[in-house]
Amino acid sequence: MSNMYKSTEDRRIRRTKRMLQQALAKLMSQKEFKDITVKDITDLADLNRSTFYLHYQDTYDLLEKVENEMIGRFEEMVDDYHSTPNNFSVYKIVDQAFDYLEENMEICRPLFLSNTNSPFLEKLMNVIIEKGFTRQKEVRGDVDPEKLDYQLQFLAYGIVGALRKWFQEEGYLSKEQIVNLLDQMITGVMEI
């Protein structure tokens, strides 16, 4: 019986957190993050402020936890990806990343388009650079670290810029088109 209660409690907690995250995302698309209050979030989520404080210290803590969850998911995707020297296509990982972005569009769009000083985009670029460096060393062995660093910096900024553009233009390029485009660009840069 206690296990049944625990799983119900966990499901309720996950649901509550999701409601708070969705409220934050909606508010971030309407106004600057610095102007969003806990009351704004709880009013929109139709929850008590005390419920908010059971899970988060303040709005910055909520935002940081949302960002860290997303960064963690992207790290998992990269860690699960395996390429070979003969097949460097990143299509599969980019496709998986876009599935995630589309499934979480409500929170992803404001994070990518926000003008807040949130470190989210910097963290994402660091994942691309650090994980890319590790993968390239594993796959290709003998790589010039200076050249690779330039390539990965270029890719990190390019990928984030392309994602921001994709979110801004909402539907101009289909998921399949943007995935193919990014795969071609990433593969092209890494083959230099």
Task: Tell me how far apart the alpha carbons of residues 115 and 136 are, in angstroms, rounded to a whole number.
Answer: 32
The predicted structure's pLDDT at residue 63: 94
The predicted structure's pLDDT at residue 11: 87
Mean pLDDT, the chain, whole residue set: 88
At residue 5, does pLDDT exceed 90? no
At residue 94, does pLDDT exceed 70? yes
The predicted structure's pLDDT at residue 127: 93
Task: Tell me how far apart the alpha carbons of residues 12 and 8 are, in angstroms, rounded to a whole number.
Answer: 6
At residue 60, does pLDDT exceed 60? yes
DSSP state of 84: B
Q: Kindly indicate the confidence band of residue 84, based on its pLDDT and cuts at 50, 70 and 90.
A: low
Q: Are 52 and 20 in contact (CB under 8 A)?
A: yes
Enter the pTM of the model. Answer: 0.82
Distance from chain centroid for Cα 43: 26
Q: What is the mean pLDDT of residues 59-78?
A: 93
- Token couple for 81: 């990806």
The predicted structure's pLDDT at residue 159: 94
Q: Which of 6-10, 28-32, 99-103, 185-189 has the lowest mean pLDDT?
A: 6-10
The predicted structure's pLDDT at residue 6: 47
Q: Is 3 helix (H, G, I), strand (E, B) or coil?
A: helix
Looking at this protein, which amino acid is placed at residue 109?
Answer: R
Looking at this protein, which amino acid is placed at residue 51?
Answer: T
Rounded to a whole number, what is the distance in angstroms from the first to the last CA of the chain? 60
The predicted structure's pLDDT at residue 123: 93
Specify the length of the chain in residues: 192
Higher pLDDT, 56 or 139: 56
The predicted structure's pLDDT at residue 9: 61
Sign of torsion over alpha carbons 181, 104, 61, 164: positive
Q: What is the mean pLDDT of residues 33-46?
A: 96
The predicted structure's pLDDT at residue 61: 96
Higher pLDDT, 87 or 40: 40
Higher pLDDT, 83 or 130: 130
Q: What is the mean pLDDT of residues 154-177?
A: 91
Residue ranges of the alpha helices (H) in 35-90? 38-45, 49-55, 59-80
The interaxial angle of helices 59-80 and 2-28, nearest 10 deg, is: 100
